[in-house]
Amino acid sequence: MKATSLKRNHKLYSGLDDRIFDLTVKIILLILGVMALYPLWFVLIASVSNPSDIFRGRVFLLPSGLNTEAYEKLLHTPKVWTGYLNSIIYTSVGTFINLAVTLPAAFALSRKALPGRAVFSVFFIFTMVFSGGLIPSFMLVRSLNMVDTMWALVIPGAVSAFNLLIAKSFFEGGIPESIYEAAIVDGASKFQFFFRFALPLSKAMIAVILLYYALGHWNDYFTPLIYIRTPDLQPLTIVIAQMAATLDTTLLEVMPSEEAYQLLMENSLMKYAVVFVGALPMIILYPFLQRYLIQGVMLGAVKG
């Protein structure tokens, strides 16, 4: 949200207390901003530094030189690239299914003429309040033979009731009943109207729920952890977890030697690189996504 709409009437009175206030705000904002940025920054500079410099505490604000060794190694680590590719496939297929199922349903629910509208709404809302939980869902997916396939990741969660409600209330407000009825009277079918009018008029909302769904797929770790067994089918999150987020017992305690130390340093450099590679897509896309994320909060807030 733009924080600029406060009228600049502080010029009226600008005593010492106000200047202290302004300064305090500035300092707090600076501290919070730097604290938010620093972890990612450190991972980046550490990933291109000489590992022994990191160990001597010389890498803190700027990288020591430019050491692309870790990234070159990553380039030759096929599982990172299969992970990337799998994540891209799961995210695009999954999001496509999400939208293909959610949007028509939301539009249908938004029309007052729909018989049994309240019943259908409750049918979906109930899933937000109570669910069978992990185990019964797992047994179901398993008995449908979807374990270890992409379908386990993209079909069971095809409808999120939350996104469905956001889309529904957007259609209610954005596509007036009168226009819809006029188009139907003029001979348009429901589907024609949906594709030619309702969807093009709802681009802002579609962008928001597309983003929500896509983020959900891209960042999902737990679902593939449960359902995907074959290494070649693992998405990026699982690969990162295996390479960087697993906690290794420190070699140094077991056998403190020069080689162990060297190995440890090389390993940790790889970790920096793989974590940064994992965060990279979001960092690149972030400037384009920020607007929609904020809009999404607003759409959700209107709903709540």
- Does 259 sit near another protein (CB under 8 A)? no
Beta carbons of 278 and 236 less than 8 angstroms apart: yes
- Does 288 sit near another protein (CB under 8 A)? no
To another protein, the closest distance from the beta carbon of 187 in angstroms equals 18
> By C-beta, is 133 or 187 nearer to another protein?
133
Q: Which of the stretches 67-75, 172-180, 200-208, 285-293 binds another protein when contact is defined by CB under 8 A? A: 285-293
To another protein, the closest distance from the beta carbon of 229 in angstroms equals 11
Binders of another protein among residues 197 to 226 (CB under 8 A) are 215, 218-222, 225-226
Chain center to CA of 131: 23
| Those residues with Cβ within 8 angstroms of residue 124's Cβ, 6 or more apart along the chain or in another chain | 109, 159, 161, 164, 165
Rounded distance between C-alpha atoms, residue 164 and residue 99, angstroms: 10
Rounded distance between C-alpha atoms, residue 173 and residue 170, angstroms: 5
- Does 44 sit near another protein (CB under 8 A)? no
- Does 257 sit near another protein (CB under 8 A)? no
| Those residues with Cβ within 8 angstroms of residue 235's Cβ, 6 or more apart along the chain or in another chain | 83, 86, 87, 90, 153, 220, 224, 228
- Does 190 sit near another protein (CB under 8 A)? yes
- Does 133 sit near another protein (CB under 8 A)? yes
Beta carbons of 146 and 227 less than 8 angstroms apart: yes
Binders of another protein among residues 139 to 178 (CB under 8 A) are 139-140, 143, 155-159, 161, 164
Binders of another protein among residues 73 to 132 (CB under 8 A) are 100-102, 104-105, 107-109, 114, 120, 123-125, 127, 129-132
Closest CA to 206 of 93, 268, 299: 299
Rounded distance between C-alpha atoms, residue 19 and residue 76, angstroms: 56
3-state secondary structure of 5: coil
Our CA angle for 291, 296, 302, nearest 5°, is 130
Rounded distance between C-alpha atoms, residue 77 and residue 116, angstroms: 55
Q: Which of the stretches 72-80, 170-178, 180-188, 270-278 binds another protein when contact is defined by CB under 8 A? A: 270-278
Question: Of 80, 208, 244, 270, which one interacts with another protein (CB under 8 A)?
Answer: 244
> By C-beta, is 12 or 185 nearer to another protein?
12
To another protein, the closest distance from the beta carbon of 185 in angstroms equals 19
> By C-beta, is 185 or 247 nearer to another protein?
247
- Does 195 sit near another protein (CB under 8 A)? no
